A and B are shown apart, each in its own frame.
Chain A
Amino acid sequence: MATTDFKDPALYTNRELSWVQFNHRVLNEARDKNIPLFERLKFLSITSSNLDEFFMIRVASLKDMVNAGYEKPDIAGMTPTKQLEALDEAIHSLVATQYSTYNRSLLPQLEKSGLSVVRFHEDLTEEESAYIDSYFEENVYPVLTPMAVDSSRPFPLIRNKSLNIGAMVCKKGGDGELEFATVQVPSVLSRIVQLPTEGKAKKIIFLEEIIERNIHKLFLNYDIVCAHPYRIMRNADLTIEEDEAADLLKEIEKQIKKRQWGEAIRLEVEAGMDKRLLKFLKKELKIGESRIYAIDGPLDLTVLMKMYGLEGFSRLKTPKFEPQAVPELPAGCNIFEEIRKGDILLHHPYQTFTPVVEFIRQAARDPEVLAIKQTLYRVSGNSPIIAALAQAAENGKQVTVLVELKARFDEENNIVWARMLEKAGCHVIYGLVGLKTHSKITLVVRREEDGIRRYVHLGTGNYNDATAKLYTDVGLMTCAETIGEDATAVFNMLSGYSEPLFWNKLSLAPLWLKDKFLYLIGREKKYALEGRPARIIAKMNSLCDRDIIAALYEASAAGVKIDLIVRGICCLKVGIPGVSENITVRSIVGNFLEHSRIFYFENNEHYEIYCGSADWMPRNLERRVEILFPVDRPELKEELFHILKNQLRDTVKASVLQPDGSYEKVDKRGKQIFNSQEAFCKEATDRAKEVEAPTQVSRRFVPETPQGL
């Protein structure tokens, strides 16, 4: 039998196309009639902001490659040019679905539910028009900066991602020559403007329509020939994506002069835009037909998140889930004492993130605590964690904080609070050169009666109390000596000291983690070949590492049963005879963003479970500092296994990858309806109640009896 080349590009899916599929799955939520209407608005808004980010990062990066003449094929054998071509088509179809969803499903439903959106200013009543015009004059007009283009004034710089109104104008009493004029829809004003209505029903109009209606007031000496909204996205990202290969970076450096700064990579225009205006924009922005999106509806659907926030529609939203108390860590407990009783597992957002914040707060106040060390990647504004760390430093503890400045889009924000921590006396380190520190670990060193004891929190999610309410993550609190030693070594390494000779429990990227995974997968393969039980269940956000996928293919071919729960990108294909028949892939897109990474290995009936901060992506395994940690305590392993099993049972929010590369919702026939996220909510609520119940002691006044009678 010929040996299979498990790295054959034919066995892989291009990651960008897989991403588009993921966004389709999010879009499916917006199309799902079983979901409350306003939640659907939110999902549609998410697809829109996702797509913006995708353009700025991924499409821009592919553009760079094409400009640099870099033609190396990707994991699936596609050159950058090919990928861009395929993406053009896929994204056009995605956008078409976005707007048909908006126009055909959501708008009519909103109308029925008492929210009407006036799409064109021409549809306003006279009364409303008068209101709008005065609104324009009072609020909008003062902040507008109209710009006209003629031979003496060049085409202005249109800001990336901004919404603008373009117009063709003609000088009053002139020779009839058309000129271009443009005005930015100001981002300082709310894009949604409510119209006065009687009764409960609400009526809104978008700001750009208001400006369009009044645009003649901006160009008094001109006749307005036509006016339409447009929006551009530029390739202006100064940093080069870490996902790309090192040889690409060199290539781009060489070609840096050729790189076209600020090149437009997407132009969105209102459908039916005047041809002369469109032609002008196309020429000025030097943009090809395939990158122009004619939009039948409002540009930039992220505005729907604002619409979601309109008051008075709570019946059309999913009731907010309140994260539940962790039974092992009741409010007011001494967290260190509880951890000493045994490792504690936290499952967010079903369980509250408060204990993690409390862990640092208590450490800051505890006189026996000597040091606190933590990695911070993305932190919420006004973070209680930052406040606690600063407090600890002021209390004379040694506080070491690793602040990752390279976190995408967060750089500025991060610098601000990093300075704040430094001022408070924390030792702030900014990570390792060339590596993003993505690991989530906190170490508290405490001096106790019988010596130094180390408390460690390890997690799959960022130390961000805001996202901890939306992202599903797991965390472990432990004072195991072996993990404490490793944690100390992690921080020594991050501070620039030499690495330890060996690690007790933790596996770290970029040096050791990939090998560890390959070893674990290989071990299952070995057991399968020996006819022993062999199984892998892995849950992550993205799967696109070639070595890992090839190892999974090999394991599957050897008979290992592999179930993958991959929310986003998945370059692995299922159902290929002799390669991946034993692999299933499902993606869960629900109310909460699936974010935890959990890995189960059967290990010949002595199963092992690991959690960590890394996806199976080259950037996680090779260019970031990541930590994988095992969970040893049997009850906790059981709990994690339970999480994985529930996700595999999900029939509501799960989509299953098909051999043809498409995703289909689970066939519900003959199966019980099961929504894993809802089940976790219920479980968390029940568990919190169980503990609460006995503490409710009924009050009874006891009459005093005279003594000595």
Chain B
Amino acid sequence: MSTKTFAAIDVGSFESCMKIFEFSGKNRMREIDAVRQSIDLGSDTYANGKISNEKVEELCRVLKEFASIMKAYKVEAYRAYGTSAVRETENSIILQDKIAQRTGIRVEILSNSEQRFLDYKSVASKGESFRRIIEEKTAIVDIGGGSIQLSLFDNDTLVSTKNMRLGVLRLQEMLTHLDAKSTQVEHLIDELASAQLATYKKLYLKDREIENIIIVDDYISPWAVKSTKGEDTMMETAKLEELIQLLRNSNATQVAQTMDIAEEKVPLLLISAVLARRIAEMMGASRIWAPGSTLCDGIAYEYAEQNKMLKGEHDFEKDIIACAMNISKRYMGSRKRAETLEKITATIFDNMKRIHGLGKRERLYLEIAAILHDCGKYISLTDIGEASYNIIMATEIIGLSHKEREIVANVVRFNHSRFGYYSHLQSGVTELDRESYLTVAKLTAILRLANSLDRSHKQKMKGVKALLRENELILTVDTQQDITLERGFFEASAEFFTEVFSVKPVLKQKKTF
């Protein structure tokens, strides 16, 4: 049978949902069932730091039902992810185990950037409509409960993504705290958001003009999907104004009735709408698109992509690299040098494949590490390693999980600082598992070696060729210039390289006249 069924489960803060998908040979992803069940885990986590036992019981009951639905569809694979409520609960590991024991479902935890990346993929899963829209200058506004994520596209590549603590629930809480009258709500949201948005504009948006905004959220999207009857159509930004008008002029019960939504969601819809309008104004966007795609769509899309059941039209790796470059640019990293490094590391990595046994994903880490190798210089010229590490750990790179970011940050750090061995690392700030640690060691060795070849930062080594011969890696550089300096550093870094791979790097100069 050429089709495959897959279940995507999202254990959200206020709702758990599951979608069943079918992938068929024709590069087709088809949703065949979707169930949603409100279950408020967020209140417990945010208020007490823990999910109460009753809620856990309820969650297990819901997931058990999900499991039986999966069974009915003979689902071949699934991914279940917990988001902020599960992530932030103190007893998350116990919770995960309990769920697995009771329901057989293994719930993994998504970091914010992973979650946002999946949200982004969910939009990309809309295929053609998505591709068409990002041809123009576009921003994705992902409105969550606790925070919002603004991502910018340039030439159909994602270039930056920023998280701001302006989530709808957070804003609502603040409004409640301020005891705001309903007439003040709009004004207050504008005020609360403006300060942060102004900074964002100054630092990141600059004078970019944005034409389209893609909204990913739980409040505006259902409204948009309902009003367009599920046809992927864009709306003028003015439609948001109409929505706000409607919300402004009627009470919650009326809105709930006319718009066919739960009454408690009405104030959240207003906050989302006002926020979206404010952002649209700031960006100067004229059209919005709220495709109503959910995390589950993103989960399925990613799964299909990874398992080669779907050929994604969009290159997400390009997005990750573009983001890294943007970060490097912000910290005045040298574009040219980064390029040289990228080239050399890639050459070494590819030729060493047989020895290091790492894959495509690790190659991406190395590429990012090369791009960000010197970002710490912006802070300190003497403590580049630690400063770089801290910058990378404090900057979200969409598409990289926390763990992956940690790997990249460590590779950059050890490029400059003394390499920390596993036992040392365990007592330090980072907690890498063994496998990640080995990846760090291998990538560090490669980056150090490559770095030594461009010590003078003059890009002397244009064409480096590598050849793996028995226990030697022969690097042939094609340059007319004096490479005495590089040779010196090469020896030093070769030692560590040999330690990690048991392969001795040998540098040869080829002079072509």
Contacts and interface: CB of A to CB of B under 8 A. Distances in A.
A508 to B, nearest CB: 12
A501 B292 contact: yes
A429 to B, nearest CB: 11
Interface stretch (B31-39, B96-104, B167-175, B317-325): B31-39
B39 to A, nearest CB: 11
Contacts of A498: 15, 35-38
B71 A502 contact: no
Interface string B338-366: 00000000000000000000000000000
Contacts of B73: 370-371, 445, 452
Residue of B15, B34, B37, B72 with highest tally of chain A CB at under 10 A = B72
Interface residues of B, number: 29
Contacts of B36: 497-498
B30 interface: yes
B374 interface: no
B225 A501 contact: yes
Nearest to B38: A498
A427 B69 CA distance: 11
Contacts of A447: 1, 3, 74
Contacts of B222: 501
B2 interface: yes
Nearest to B37: A497
A492 B33 contact: yes
Summarize B's interface: helix, strand, loop or mixed: mixed
A511 interface: yes
A122 interface: no
Interface residues of A, number: 23
Interface string B20-47: 0010100000101111111000000000
Contact of A370 (B3, B68, B72): B72
A488 B33 contact: yes
A147 B36 CA distance: 62
A497 B35 contact: yes
Contacts of A500: 34
B427 to A, nearest CB: 48
A496 interface: yes
Contacts of B2: 449-450
Contacts of A370: 72-74
A451 interface: yes
A100 interface: no
Residue of A447, A495, A502, A512 with highest tally of chain B CB at under 10 A = A502
A316 to B, nearest CB: 54
A534 B342 CA distance: 72
Contacts of A449: 1-2
B209 interface: no
A8 to B, nearest CB: 26
Nearest to B227: A502
B24 A450 contact: yes
B182 to A, nearest CB: 26
Interface of B: 1-3, 5, 15, 22, 24, 30, 32-38, 65, 68-69, 71-74, 222, 225-226, 229-230, 260, 292
Interface of A: 370-371, 397-398, 427, 445, 447, 449-452, 488-489, 492, 495-498, 500-502, 511-512
Given A370-B73, A501-B292, A502-B226, 20 more contacts: A371-B73, A398-B68, A398-B69, A447-B1, A447-B74, A449-B1, A449-B2, A450-B24, A451-B3, A452-B3, A452-B5, A452-B32, A489-B34, A492-B35, A495-B35, A495-B65, A498-B35, A500-B34, A501-B230, A512-B260
29 contacts: A370-B72, A370-B74, A371-B72, A371-B73, A398-B69, A427-B68, A445-B72, A449-B1, A449-B2, A450-B2, A450-B3, A450-B24, A451-B22, A451-B30, A452-B5, A452-B32, A492-B33, A495-B35, A495-B65, A496-B37, A497-B36, A498-B15, A498-B37, A498-B38, A502-B226, A502-B229, A502-B230, A511-B260, A512-B260
